[in-house]
Amino acid sequence: MNIAQQAASQAASAFETWQDSSGAQRAMLLRALAAALEAQRETLVPLADDETHLGPARLNGELDRTAFQLRRFADIAERGIPFQAVDDPAVAGPPPTGHPALRRVRVPLGPVAMFSASNFPFAFSVLGGDTASALAAGCSVVVKGHPGHPQLTLRTFELIQQVLAQQGLPAGLIGLVQGGVDEGLALIREPAIAACAFTGSTRGGAALQAEARARPRPIPFYGELGSINPIVALPPALNDTLAQTLAGSITMGCGQFCTSPGVLVLLDGGDGTAINDGFIATLTTALRAAQPHAMLTAGMRSAFDAGTAAWHAAGAQALLHEPGVGLAPRPVLTQVTVAQFVADEALRHEVFGPAALVLRCASLEEVEQVLAAIAGSLTVTLWGAGDDTPANRRLLRAARAIAGRVLFGGVPTGVAVSAGQQHGGPWPSSTEPFSTSVGDAALDRFLRPVALQDAPAWA
């Protein structure tokens, strides 16, 4: 029996009892995991920094977010959200008016394969939001550790096993599979696995989704994938402060955020050309002054260079493109025409790292063409669309058609864990645009509705 088979088997055994656990029991586990994570901060953060180069400040903040997520889903479970039902009492008489008594409940799917992300070693990893929401839903979890931070993954897993033992819970409730592509494929093929949650590249997610669908019994695959997160900027909104803010968003975490802004769409129509010229100049200066840290892996650094080179090979004009040193790239800002962007799919691929494309549109129609060509994005940001005008309504319709989250201010980096959050959009930003991987509704991915008809009270 290989490691994937063993972990899946143990998760299936643990699921038999965990699916019937109370909200209070689920909450107790999630809160204990949050407390254990915080108690090991002085060990875990330096370990994470050694493996990811993300810096203590960022990693401490991410650990805090991870503990917050665990406690938030503990509260959700304790309030009974996973157990909410719809009672539809019997109505006497023949159909269609009459019907039997029905109670629509939700049941946990089963063991969930959770693929850790490279760029969030805490919040989207072993004890991240996918694990927290699956446990709150009553599912067991098998974590596929990311090879970019194996030691942190192992130490976090050891912490988990200690908590499970202290609470008398089976070790298989949260399992771990380490390794590369082969181990990941083996895990998703395991018959006991009932669903998969993934955060990563579009290419990797598409391959795993194909495996999930090709199984004799296909399973749901919830993938949060690549996204270029366009910002549409109307001239009156632009100023130097906003240019500095945008530069900070593009370079935040060395551009290794799923919501990093990758496209800036400027409307040159009317008297906006001069304003846009000044904004681009300020943005370029701010990016040149930025000092991004090392990327997560040598492979990602190589992919960043290949992605920006592909832009230039497609005829894009480099506004800022300086050589980096080692794993640390320099920010890249490139300009491309609307016609080029719409015609060349290579210009619409996510470049993971501190890089962005600039498009200058002569009309609202061209802005709409750009958004339509993108097809799917986690976010679209609209700057300067605060007034209720026909043009702004058109922009909102175009943005809403392709995005899971539409912002009317600020920058897309930073995804709040809250009741109203939607982190997922049309392909290629995610595989299931009706679901979210962040926020309270993430729980819904791991619950399946069942109608109980004329059920006895015990059921």
Q: Is the pLDDT of residue 159 over 80?
A: yes
Q: Is the peptide bond before 150 cis (omega within 30 degrees of 0)?
A: no
Residues forming a β-bridge with 377? 403
Query: Residues with Cβ < 8 Å from 207, sequence gap 6 or more?
Result: none
Across residues 116-134, what is the average pLDDT? 97
Q: Is the pLDDT of residue 151 over 90?
A: yes
Q: What are phi and psi of 38, to 5 degrees?
A: -65, -35
Q: Is the pLDDT of residue 308 over 90?
A: yes
pLDDT digits (tens, 9 = 90+) for 18-75: 999 999 999 999 999 999 999 999 999 999 999 999 999 999 999 999 999 999 999 9
Chain CA centroid to CA 146, Å = 15
**Buried b / exposed e along 357-384 (16+ C-beta atoms within 10 A):** bbbbbeebebbbbbbebbebbbbbbbbb
* Catalytic residue of the set 62, 190, 224, 366: 224
- Residue 361 annotated to the active site: no
Residue 271, pLDDT score? 75
Residue 371, pLDDT score? 98
* Catalytic residue of the set 139, 254, 258, 361: 258
CATH entry, 230-407, from 3.40.50.40, 1.10.1040.10, 3.40.309.10, 3.20.20.70: 3.40.309.10
Across residues 391-417, what is the average pLDDT? 97
pLDDT digits (tens, 9 = 90+) for 170-185: 999 999 999 999 999 9
Q: Is the peptide bond before 218 cis (omega within 30 degrees of 0)?
A: no
Every domain of the chain with CATH number 3.40.309.10 lies at 230-407
CA distance 435 to 445: 7
Residue 272, pLDDT score? 81
pLDDT-derived band at 269 (thresholds 50, 70, 90) equals confident
**Buried b / exposed e along 63-80 (16+ C-beta atoms within 10 A):** bbbbbebbbbbbebbbee
Average pLDDT, the chain: 96
Across residues 106-135, what is the average pLDDT? 97
Every domain of the chain with CATH number 3.40.605.10 lies at 3-225+430-453
pLDDT-derived band at 270 (thresholds 50, 70, 90) equals confident
Residue 1, pLDDT score? 78
Token digits for 82?
């996973």
- Residue 365 annotated to the active site: no
Across residues 243-263, what is the average pLDDT? 96
- Of 59, 65, 220, residue with least CA distance to 129: 65
Query: Residues with Cβ < 8 Å from 430, sequence gap 6 or more?
Result: 222, 223, 224, 225, 376, 378, 404, 424, 437
Q: How many CB atoms lie within 10 A of CB 408?
A: 13
pLDDT-derived band at 90 (thresholds 50, 70, 90) equals very high
- Of 58, 76, 70, residue with least CA distance to 132: 70
Residues forming a β-bridge with 451? 104
CB 372 within 8 A of CB 404: no
CA distance 303 to 147: 17
Tell me the residue length of the chain. 459
- Of 96, 104, 175, residue with least CA distance to 142: 175
CA distance 23 to 76: 8
CA distance 431 to 439: 17
Tell the residue number behind the tokens 């794993």, with chain if given: 327
Which CATH number does 3-225+430-453 carry? Answer: 3.40.605.10
